[in-house]
Each structure stands twice: as C-alpha cells, then as structure tokens.
A and B are shown apart, each in its own frame.
Chain A
Amino acid sequence: MSGIRKYLGLILAIVVVLAMAAWPVINGKDITREVVFTMLLSVGLASSLNILLGYTGYVSFGHVVFFGLGGYVGFYLMAVHDWSLWTAMIAGGLASAALAFLLGKAILRLRGGYFALATIGVNEAVRAFINNFDPFGGPVGMSLNFQVYKNYGGGAREALWMSFYILVALTLLITVVTYMVRSSKFGLGLLAIREDEDAAEVMGVIAPNAKTWAYVLSAVFPGILGVLFFFKNGNIEPAPAFRLQMSIEMIVMVMLGGQGTVLGPILGGAGYQRLRGFLLTNPLFKNIQLAVAGVLLLVIVLFVPAGVVGWVRQRFPKLRRVLQ
C-alpha cells in the first residue's frame, strides 16, 4: 500500500473537520462561529465516546460526567486560583482521566445493561455531590470575572474566537488519536473485546487493562473540552455540567454516524447538531423538535443500526479503505 492511500481514511476525516472549521473563518460571522462551535464540540465528544462505545462495545450512558467534572476542576482553578486556560485544560483532562481510571477497574467488570446503569449512577452521584460541594459553589456554581478574558487577546470577542481555534485544534487532535487507536495493536485488542470479550482473553488480550485505558482515553478529551466550554460560557452550574440528556445525545451522534468508525462520529456529531439547529428554528417543528428528533432516532435504531458510515461500508465494500 502506498503512503497516501494508507492514510486516506484519516485524511478524509481531517478534511471534513477543517471544512467545518473554515466556514466561520471565511464568512467572519459570529453567529456562524457559534453554530460551528457547537458542532465541533459534539464531534469531539462523540469521537471520544466512540473509543469506548464503538471500539470496545461498552455503553457508557453517563459519559457527560467527564465533561462536567473536567469542566468544574478547570473552572475552579481559573476562577479561584487564577490559573491560565491552558493549565486549567490540562488539569481538567487529568481529573477526568483519573476518575475514569479509578472507576474503570471497578465498573468495567459489569457487562451490558449493568455497566450502562452504573455509569448513570456515577454521573448522578457526582452531580449530587458537586451540588453540595461548597468550594465549587454548590448549587449556584461559579462565574468567571469578565476581566479574565482580557488576558486572551483583548475583549470578549477575541476570547471567543480564540476558544473556537482551540476547539478546532482539539477536534483535529481527537480525530488523529481515534484514528491511531483504530489502526493500532491496542485498538485491535479493543475490537476483539467488543466482538467477544472471553474469546479475546483466551487469545491473550488483557481485557481489564485494555478496557480501563480505553475508558481513560475516552474520558480525557471530554474533560479538556469541558474546561474550554465553560471558560467560553463564563459560568458553570451542576445542571448543565452533568446533564444526563447530553450523555445520551453523545451516544445518538455516534450511532447516527456509525459506531466504531473514525469518520462516523464526526459526521454524526455535526449532522445531529445541524439537524437540531434546523428543528429548533423551523416554525413547523420548533415546538415539537424533541419529538421529531425522537422519531428520527427510532428510525435509525430500527432500520439503520450501523449508522451512515457503517451502512455505506456494508453496501460498498470498496469504499472501506476511505471510510474508516
């Protein structure tokens, strides 16, 4: 296989992310930037979750806990201890990774529905705890002093653009990481676990360790993204940080695009947010957007369970090298 052809799947994925990122840069509109910010955030979250859900086959229903916890830790360090955004993002990512590592050995023993339930329990427990945790502001949460944004290129608008560019870089990084995992020995072990965990162990895959690292890897980026999101947001509260609905949206995005593929969560995340934006602003669907989204989800689950990319791969095997 020649060099370029080997990486065609990765190149296509990167081109898709860059095309989204270029849209607001070209037209220069703040509103477009906000739309694409939401899309790329979803892409990043869905791609991270895909490492656990798509590659390893474990359904984490409470994945938003890593977004919320990372966000809280980073926000606390920025708001109370004047840390820079950069160090706070690293700290947030590490906090989420640490939680995943500690939880991993314990709850990844559970299979199927029990694991899904445990992740919901963890998210609710952490949310309820933060609600009572005074250093993090309890139920009120915390706010950033507006002056903070001055450190990042002047006014609020500059800080917003900077957040956007950081997000683009992070999304690209996540895309490359998910691609590298997919095409590595570690990733092959994860796929084996997804297909048949016991058989994988008999072949020598140390499943408890592999699952834990997959969990850690799928937690670290949501943690970093959480810091960035709430930095841009200016304040953080328990309810939006640990919204169970958001966990499920992440799963829907992965499913929509195609679980276990690199490109799937990218298309799924972007597509889901575009669709949601359309439904929210369309006068016909505005009031029942959630119900319409529910019907669409049901149709996908019942009739296209492999997602868009999975479906195309099944129908056109020749495209498998490109659509990874």
Chain B
Amino acid sequence: MTMILQVEGVGKVFGGLQALSDVTFDLPQGQILGLIGPNGAGKTTLFNVINGVYPPNGGRVIFNGEDVTGSKTYHMAHRGLARTHQIVRPLNELTVRENVIVGACFGREGHGLGQAGKVADEVMEFVGLAVRADQLAGSLNVGQKKRLEMARALAARPYLLLLDEVLAGLNPSEIAGMVEIVRKIRERGITIIMIEHVMHAVMNVSDRMIVLDYGQQLAEGTPEEVANNPKVIEAYLGDPELAERLMRDSDEE
C-alpha cells in the first residue's frame, strides 16, 4: 500500500500549552480517516500542522513520500493537499463560481481561467451548488457555505482532502447529503481525513479512526475498535463507570 501521508512524532506547543504531543500515524491512499476527540483536543491544530499553517515544534510530516514539514500552505496546495475550514471562510465579495475557480486556478493542477471555469462548473454540479453559481458567496446560508468550502477544495483536484467539521451546524437531511458527497469523493480515489463530532456519520463513513485527547493519541483503529475502547468513552464522558455501563448496554443490544 502506498502511504499518502505519514505523520511522525509531531508535537506543537502554544505558549506553554502542549497542543499536540508525539502524534504518529500512516495514512494509505484511498482511505477515509476519521479524527475525533473532545473540543480542544488538538484536531484542528493537527490539520494546521499538516497543511502548513504553522510548523510543528517536533516531528516530521511526509506527504507522497516527500518531507514537507514546515512547508507553506500554498506549497502544500500545489502538492495536492486541500482543506475546508471549521469556521467557513468564503471570499464574500466574489461569486460562488469565482470562489471555486480560485480553487481550480491555484490548486494542484493550476489551471488557466478558461479550464478552471469548466472544472468549477463540474464541481459545483457535484456538490449541488450549480444553481447558486452567480450569487455572492457572502449571501449563502451556513449549509451552502460548507458546500462551497468543499467545492473549492475539490476544484483543486487534491490527492488528500482535510475536512474540518463539514457536518457541524447542518440539519439531518443536509448531513445525509454531505455524507453522500464524502463517499463519492472517496470513490474518485481521493484520500480523506475528516474531523467530526457527528459520531454516527463519521463512524459510518471512516475506514479507520484516530482519537485525540489533550493533544495525545488516545486510540486508533477501526470504528468498532474505537467505539469499544473504554479510554475513549471515558475521555468523552469523563466518567469511567458511566462508560462501563454504556458498554454493557451496547453489548446487550
């Protein structure tokens, strides 16, 4: 199996706070990796280190066999890494189509405007934003803005896609639609890491999962293994006995 991403002993400190310590994992091409953990566990920080928002204080990040530790975000984009933001960042005064064209123009394939327009039209159709193409991005609702984040990232034709809580704030039918999109992206051969709090969705769609807590890797494995790990449940619920009871309940089912 070819590894698209190898994270080796990555640590990050913010003014005395250990946001990440010794995070290590390999991600094979074509998989979906679910990244879960309580708020403040360091999930988004891990994304930021991988895509170059800031360099790690220790460890290495290897992307497609190349050491990319400390690379700038735009260089990561050119190498084939795209991401969405937890708090959406639409380019408000540009149209939806222009937003997506930016992704296509400056991403891995680096299209000219003409070709980028075609890519944008295709991607907008794919995520269901085609009807909003000429609307200003600032005028979209939250669900549509999340789709826009997704469309911009996809337009870059990435090898690896980092999805930061694309389901948060969506209603159940929107969630179902988005999960469907994620599955279809994987079918295209794009590897995905997704941070998610909507547990049933991420369990459903992930091949493997990693649990972060206080910047540490608490557990790793298939969704079932992770779900049955008492340490994970404790971290989420903060009460070992409650955790045990819950596990017993689920065993009885």
Contacts and interface: CB of A to CB of B under 8 A. Distances in A.
Interface of A: 184-185, 188-189, 191-192, 194-196, 198-207, 260
A90 B73 CA distance: 37
A192 B102 CA distance: 7
A185 B112 CA distance: 7
Given A184-B113, A191-B98, A202-B77, 5 more contacts: A188-B113, A203-B77, A203-B103, A204-B110, A206-B74
Contacts of A201: 72-74, 77
B91 A205 contact: no
Contacts of A260: 93
B107 interface: yes
13 contacts: A184-B113, A188-B98, A188-B102, A188-B105, A191-B98, A199-B85, A200-B102, A203-B102, A203-B103, A203-B152, A204-B74, A204-B105, A205-B102
A192 B94 contact: yes
Contacts of A184: 113
B83 A202 contact: yes
A66 to B, nearest CB: 27
A195 B93 contact: yes
Contact of B78 (A191, A196, A200, A204): A204
Nearest to B88: A199
A191 B94 contact: yes
Interface of B: 51, 53, 72-74, 77-78, 82-83, 85, 89-94, 98, 101-103, 105-108, 110, 112-113, 116, 152, 156
Contact of A202 (B73, B92, B110, B113): B73
A204 B93 contact: no
Contacts of B106: 189, 192, 200, 203-205
A203 B82 CA distance: 7
Query: 4 closest Cβ contacts across the A-B interface?
Result: A204-B77, A204-B106, A195-B91, A199-B89
Nearest to B85: A199
Contacts of B108: 204
Nearest to B92: A195
Contact of A188 (B78, B101, B156): B101
A164 to B, nearest CB: 36
Residue from A195, A205, A206, A207 whose CB has the most chain B CB atoms within 10 Å: A195
B105 A189 contact: yes
Contacts of B116: 185
Contacts of B85: 199, 202
A33 B145 CA distance: 52
Nearest to B83: A202
B91 A192 contact: yes
Contacts of A198: 53, 73, 89
Contact of B156 (A189, A195, A204, A207): A204
Contact of B105 (A185, A195, A196, A202): A185
A124 to B, nearest CB: 33
Contacts of B73: 198, 201-202
A185 B77 CA distance: 16
A201 B152 CA distance: 13
B77 A191 contact: no
A196 B116 CA distance: 20
A201 B116 CA distance: 17
B51 A202 contact: yes
A184 B102 CA distance: 11
A194 B91 CA distance: 9
